[in-house]
Amino acid sequence: MKYTVKCPCCGTVNTGLDLLETNGSMECISCGKKIVGLLLSVPKKLPFLPGCPPKIRRSRH
């Protein structure tokens, strides 16, 4: 997945960044500063659990 990120130092818009590959870090194309920690959470796939779906508990009124 490609991201578009605005540099917090100089304000330049950096496009086409693959933050998942670099673990959330980038180097600005304008000022050249390295920014770390842009991607706070990596989306994860839910595990596939074979068998019956879990029972849904409904509250009693």
DSSP per-residue string spanning 25-37: -EE-TTT--EE--
Res. 42: pLDDT tops 60: no
What pTM was estimated for this model as a whole? 0.57
Res. 27: pLDDT tops 60: yes
Q: Which residue has the higher pLDDT, 27 or 43?
A: 27
The residues, ordered by sequence, that sit 6+ positions from 28 with a Cβ below 8 Å of its Cβ are 7, 9, 10, 12, 14, 35
CA separation for the pair 24, 40 (Å, rounded)? 7
Entry field: residues in the chain: 61
Res. 34: pLDDT tops 70: yes
